[in-house]
């Protein structure tokens, strides 16, 4: 197992009947350009089928987004791997903020690599279900909150990295304010007609912005849904 990878004991024996399917998924991710061995090992180890409805479990290791209810999706594995790889490229962050918990899969991937994950979800049902999954899998280093994600989570700021798993037409200033100097901010930026996955880093006295390629996410909306 690669250095820094944390697999909770509670998760170690789950989903092993799908190990062959996860191995095939990892090979596809490698063919698509994912190179970080730590990310590939997480994708090989973490049982994605536990983050979706049982009726869709047979499709869990396809490289595609799947519905999770309330007009939301669990992201395509390649997108999860790509965003994670970009987030940790310059070193493993200690304290990460995720906006858009959804199924909890992206947060779980990060939790196997970093010390602390803080995840915010605006849909109460999804937030509640994700928290149950984190407990079942033994992820004690994930805090989950039901709140408007555009507000961030200032109580646990500053963050070494912020990852947004929904599309925003602009980078919210209140989120950037919660990022530690030198930290990494990753988000799909754009509207329904087209988005680009962007990475921002504050280097010395200016923002360095990188375009990581096309993306397609549901929009980052304000407010909460009970």
The b-or-e profile of 177-191 (16+ CB within 10 A means b, else e) is ebbbeebbbbbbbbe
Structure tokens at 33: 């350009």
Among residues 18, 75, 103, 127, the one annotated as catalytic is 75
Residue 194 CB burial class (10 angstroms; 0-12, 13-18, ≥19): exposed
Residue 223: name the closest of 129, 153, 154, 121 by CA: 121
Work out the angle between the directed axes of helices 77-88 and 19-31 (0-180°, nearest 10).
60
18 is catalytic: no
Task: Point out the residues that are catalytic.
Answer: 75
């Amino acid at each position: 197992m690669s250095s820094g990878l944390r697999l909770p004991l509670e998760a170690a024996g789950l989903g092993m009947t799908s190990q062959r399917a996860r191995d095939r998924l990892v090979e596809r991710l490698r063919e698509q350009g994912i190179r970080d061995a730590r990310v590939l090992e997480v994708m090989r180890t973490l049982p994605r089928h536990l983050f979706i409805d049982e009726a869709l479990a047979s499709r869990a290791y396809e490289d595609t987004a799947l519905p999770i209810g309330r007009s939301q999706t669990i992201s395509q594995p390649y997108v999860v791997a790509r965003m994670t790889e970009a987030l940790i490229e310059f070193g493993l962050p200690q304290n990460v903020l995720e906006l858009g918990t959804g199924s909890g899969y992206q947060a779980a991937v990060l939790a196997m690599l970093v010390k602390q994950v803080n995840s915010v979800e605006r849909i109460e049902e999804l937030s509640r279900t994700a928290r149950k999954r984190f407990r079942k899998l033994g992820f004690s280093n994930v805090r989950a909150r039901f709140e408007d994600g555009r507000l961030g989570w200032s109580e646990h700021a500053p963050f070494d990295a912020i990852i947004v798993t929904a599309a925003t037409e602009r980078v919210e200033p209140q989120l950037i304010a919660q990022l530690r100097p030198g930290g990494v901010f990753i988000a799909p930026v754009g509207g329904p007609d087209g988005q680009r996955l962007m990475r921002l880093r504050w280097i010395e006295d200016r923002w360095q912005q990188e375009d990581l390629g096309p993306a397609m996410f549901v929009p980052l909306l304000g407010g909460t849904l009970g």
